Amino acid sequence: MLQISGVAGEQRANPEQSQKKGRSAGRMKRYLSSAMVYTMALCFFAAVLPLASVTLDFASGLYAGAFLLAVLWVAKLVSGKVYWSKSPMHFPVIGFLIYAFVRYVTSPVEYEARLELFQIILLGFFYFAIASNFHRSKDRNVLLWALFSLALFEATYGLWQFATHSPSIFFWSRPEKYFGRAGGTYVCPNHLAGFLEMVIGLIIGRLVFHRSSDSINRSALEKVILGYIGVVSIAALMCTLSRAGWISVIAGLLTLLIWGDWKSRGFLIRLGVVAGCVVILTSLTFAIGPIRKRIEETVHNPHVDQRFALNDRTFGGRTYYTKATFQMVQDHPLLGTGPGTWEFFYPKYRPYRFQTYSEYPHNDILNLCSDYGLVGFALVATALFLFYWQAVKIGFSRVRSEQRSLAIGAVVSVTALLVHSWTDFNLHIPANSFLFACILGLTAALGEASDKNLRREMHPFFRYGLAAVVVALCACACLWALPAIRARFAFEEGTRAKDFLQWEEAVELYDHAAAIDPQLTPLYEKMGELYRVMSEWRLGPEKVEERKALAAKSVEAFRKSLAQNPQQPRVLVALAGAYDLTGNKEEAEKTYLQALQMDPRGARIFLAMGAFYQRNNEGAKALEAFKKAADERWGYEDPVSALNIEDLSDPKP
């Protein structure tokens, strides 16, 4: 009897213990979910505030946030049941991640391809972290309001820069050409415009379609605050003086008109919102002098006897970049030239009358085709098509207004940025590509249109497998990305020391960076420049040997850079100059000719060759090189070439 009674008591105790464990596990999951939401919100600020994370060192805060988010996600995955949202976007995103890794392995330029892979993996991680975890409207509201708060700061700061012609971003200097334009914490105002386009789309979607379940007063207050942020953001967008930004936000707003019946009251509301935004844009155009001037400079050419004639038909050289990139795609159609390689292959395709170098072709769509080929383009295009397909299904269904407002706002945002991407490289700015991936992830988290299929429990096998994948990514980040970030910090410190003529300190920092990451290709170009300058300033005849020794170090550094990336005509020109300092004239001339093979229309290469021949008393070759540098086909106005041509053509006795 005692034994039976003990067993029964134990059976009664077990359900209580199980319930207690279940409540404890539930609390732990709620804590982890909340921590993930707020960590994700902090990632928005970490991505945007430090100069939009334009380089690896400035992106270190974003990587730290991703690492913390990964740790929380793993803890959540192993703590018990988790759910995921079914989305057709998942498959092409996974396909592009795999393809990007394959193209990294086969890329002709390791370091640039590695940086590109870092960013793609980071964006893929954030996409899946958001799509897999932020199913609740409460979580999405936290993220959206964090983003709206950040947009308000960026817009206000940008308006202040516009009004004061501020020369700085916090304590960093701005390029002088951007004075008088709203830029926020972005170096280029065009990229602040890209950020604001996406946020404005989300704000408009929430204003028009969201019906809050809170009290009327609270709902009205939310609408007023959102409207204020939207108006300030539109004003800042106009003050960026980004013409593509103006056109893109209007294109995004026009997509509002498709949502719902054209004869319903809802259509009149949507039409009123679009018309109101256009009125605000138009009013700002006429009210603010610099905006009017920007438009006048665009559509009026004083040299053409027409009322409306484009002042710059190349749109800042964009038509030249586009033409060259089309040729690159035709020559490398299937797989492209490799991730991050556009700038190195572009000189071969440089059109006449355009001598400007650029890191990107100011067209993200063509840049994708040139770097990743039609295979990469097809994967990304498929993901975007499925994004629109899923957003449209949600937008035209009877789901909650919060879901519809997010899906429709996401369409407005993505459409605006894609339009802008035809004339700029917003998706190569980490802060903007990060927000773009987050918008796709939030849309994927909405799942299917039916609430019944919104969330699915993840099988334990996949749950633990996903946790293992995330742990592996964290390990790779520690072994692979962290050293690259540390090396980049040392490299940037060395460059600053070099700029301030602290040469010995710069050498130490460069050596430290090379020890951390020997594949940091730009480092060796800077080292070569440093040793060359140090050599050139050893002027006395007693310093001939020291000068040659430093020049030899310069040669070694430039050759290391070229060994890692042979497609660098600029480095070849610098190497030729270093050979000249060592007295190896034959190698110098041969290297100049190699540079011309990569950049056959490079006026600056002919100019450097002319100076080289003139220093070595080869007047006929120097004259020929200077004439080619001044060839009118290049459109390169260089008074130095003209002066030397005059002297060599009419030598003084």
pLDDT at residue number 343: 92
State whether residue 602 is helix, strand or coil. Answer: coil
Give the lowest-confidence range in 222-236, 297-311, 566-580. Answer: 297-311
pLDDT at residue number 641: 66
The beta strand positions in 258-351, using DSSP E, are: none
| DSSP 8-class letter at 84 | E
pLDDT at residue number 3: 47
173 vs 260, higher pLDDT: 173
Residues with Cβ within 8 Å of residue 558, at least 6 apart in sequence: 524, 525, 528, 571, 574, 575, 578
Backbone angles phi, psi at 257, to 5 degrees: -70, -15
Mean pLDDT of the region 429-449? 92
Confidence of residue 219 (pLDDT cuts 50, 70, 90): confident
For residue 412, which of 197, 141, 208 has the smallest C-alpha distance? 197
Per-residue buried b or exposed e for 529-565, using 16+ beta carbons within 10 Å of the residue's own CB: bbbbebbeebeeeeeeeebbebbbbbbebbbbbbebb
State whether residue 211 is helix, strand or coil. Answer: coil
| DSSP 8-class letter at 83 | E
State the fold for domain 484-649: 1.25.40
pLDDT digits (tens, 9 = 90+) for 142-168: 999 999 999 999 999 999 999 999 999
CATH 1.25.40.10, the chain: domain bounds: 484-649
pLDDT of 400 over the 90 cut: no
pLDDT at residue number 1: 40
Interior angle at CA 101, CA 96 and CA 432, nearest 5 = 60
Return the structure tokens found at 406: 């997010």
Would the CA dihedral through 430, 433, 435, 437 be positive or negative? negative
Q: Please report where in the chains the tokens 């400035």 appear, as a residue.
A: 58
pLDDT of 637 over the 70 cut: no
Return the structure tokens found at 587: 């190698």
In a 10 Å sphere around its CB, with 0-12 CB exposed, 13-18 middle and 19+ buried, how is residue 498 labelled? buried
Report the distance separating Cα 389 and Cα 400, nearest Å. 18
160 vs 396, higher pLDDT: 160
- 608, 627 in Cβ contact below 8 A? no
pLDDT at residue number 601: 84
pLDDT of 642 over the 70 cut: no
State whether residue 173 is helix, strand or coil. Answer: strand
Dmax (CA) for the chain in angstroms is 129
- 412, 406 in Cβ contact below 8 A? no
Interior angle at CA 560, CA 361 and CA 538, nearest 5 = 105
Amino acid (one-letter) located at 189: P
Give the lowest-confidence range in 397-406, 453-462, 544-553. Answer: 453-462
pLDDT digits (tens, 9 = 90+) for 538-587: 887 888 888 889 999 999 999 999 999 998 999 999 999 999 989 899 99
Backbone angles phi, psi at 37, to 5 degrees: -60, -50
Would the CA dihedral through 395, 401, 403, 409 be positive or negative? positive
pLDDT of 23 over the 70 cut: no
| DSSP 8-class letter at 224 | H
Q: Which element (helix H / strand E) includes 247?
A: helix 243-254
586 conformational bin, left if phi > 0, alpha if psi -120 to 50, beta if neither: alpha
Task: From residue 150, give the alpha-carbon distance in Å to each of 76, 229, 643.
Answer: 28, 10, 53
Residue ranges of the alpha helices (H) in 450-584?
460-476, 482-499, 503-516, 521-536, 544-564, 569-582
Q: Please report where in the chains the tokens 């519809």 appear, as a residue.
A: 404
Return the structure tokens found at 56: 């690896």
Mean pLDDT of the region 31-58? 95
